[in-house]
Amino acid sequence: MAERVAGKRRADLARPRRGPFALNMVKYDLHDYDAMLADPERTQAYLAAIAAAVRPGDVVVEIGTGAGFFAVAAARAGARRVYAIECSDVADVARELVADNGYADIVEVLHGDALTLSLPERGDVLIEDLRGVLPTFSHRFAIIADARARHLVPHARLTVLRDTLWAAPCQTLASDASLGEMPYGISRRAVARRIRDVWWRVRLGASDQLAAPRELARIDLETVSTPNVAGDVQWTIEHRGLMEGIAVWFDAEMAGGAAISNAPAAPRALYGQALFPLTTALPVSPGDRVHVAWRALLVGETYVYSWDTTHESAVDGRATAFRQSSLAELLPARAVREQEARRANDSTGHRHA
């Protein structure tokens, strides 16, 4: 069964060379870097991809080196020069780690934002692990497109080649509904009316999927030129359950045949899955149809996610539609009240979110 995992705090890193997306970056601490390293699924896949992509004499660019482990791996693989870019203060730790491993003459740690800094030469290989639960994390696609344009030679080798996004309707124990409207006699309406318009991280088991996963989108990192991602998927429900929302995860194809997946059925990796909740959980039965139109749109510094979900009962044909967007979380309270009033006046007979 699923467990809910606390989301990451977003923080203003307030770097002197702050890039356009810096406000929306996620801040990691040293425990986070150790936790990433300790995830064998992720670390072994990256080390295999680095060994496959880096050739002796290469110039390697790593974006988001963290504490510098993969930069050292690139140097060990024979790189002539490694530019290890890191926007947070952990860059100082990376410098020390690089020196401890005897590669200070090969690896140059650059403390800054990859989107704004310039390198003295272009790289033959790109290493990046900017992903989180979703590959859209940290404005990764915009950063990779910018790196291809400014930091890399044409046809540079990438350690991550392709991301496929998968989705499935799912049940989960990780619902906010258990709190009710008045926990301890205090209204949480201000939270409740927004919280199901935001995705959250869950750890699903294979049995939480109510239908087989379908491909939502495929992103080729050698050509990606837009940060926006979209997909439309339809399922026929296979198992009776309470559909809490649509779970989304990724499979990454990497250099040398390495791969990472955070699928519910895959070996448990650090990431977990993203749950895009329905406004209200829905009982579903085998044969029911579920359709979702899912969008991730980078607006300024923030990804706005929208997921329009339709459920059609196999028993009586009754359709229920939800229109949801993380924009609701960003709207001022007055706009939320106006939106609620519009919903109340909606005369279509369908439920809308």
Q: Site residues (CB under 6 A) for ligand SAM?
A: 19, 25, 28, 33, 36, 63-67, 69-70, 85-88, 90, 113-115, 129-130, 138, 143
SS3 at position 139: helix
Nearer to ligand SAM, 36 or 246 (CB): 36
Find the shortest distance in angstroms from Cβ 195 to ligand SAM: 25
Nearer to ligand SAM, 87 or 263 (CB): 87
Interior/surface letters 147-183, b for 16+ CB within 10 angstroms, e for the rest: bbeebbeeebbbbbbbbbbbbbbbbbebbeeeeeeee
Report the distance separating Cα 215 and Cα 232, nearest Å. Answer: 9
Find the shortest distance in angstroms from Cβ 87 to ligand SAM: 4
Nearer to ligand SAM, 64 or 135 (CB): 64
Find the shortest distance in angstroms from Cβ 49 to ligand SAM: 12
What angle (nearest 5°) sits at the alpha carbon of residue 194, between those of residues 188 and 195? 80
The H or E element spanning position 342 is helix 333-345
CB contact at 8 A, 113 and 138 = no
Nearer to ligand SAM, 88 or 175 (CB): 88
Find the shortest distance in angstroms from Cβ 136 to ligand SAM: 13
Nearer to ligand SAM, 53 or 143 (CB): 143
Find the shortest distance in angstroms from Cβ 35 to ligand SAM: 9
Nearer to ligand SAM, 122 or 193 (CB): 122
Find the shortest distance in angstroms from Cβ 277 to ligand SAM: 25
CB contact at 8 A, 117 and 150 = no
Nearer to ligand SAM, 42 or 162 (CB): 42
Q: Strands (DSSP E) along 300-331, which ranges?
A: 302-312, 319-325
Neighbouring C-beta atoms of residue 287, cutoff 10 Å:
12
Report the distance separating Cα 69 and Cα 122, nearest Å. Answer: 21
Nearer to ligand SAM, 45 or 243 (CB): 45
Report the distance separating Cα 212 and Cα 234, nearest Å. Answer: 11
Question: What residues contact residue 282 under an 8 Å CB cut-off, 6+ apart?
Answer: 242, 243, 311, 320
CB contact at 8 A, 126 and 157 = yes
Find the shortest distance in angstroms from Cβ 127 to ligand SAM: 7
Find the shortest distance in angstroms from Cβ 274 to ligand SAM: 15
Tokens of 239: 């198992």
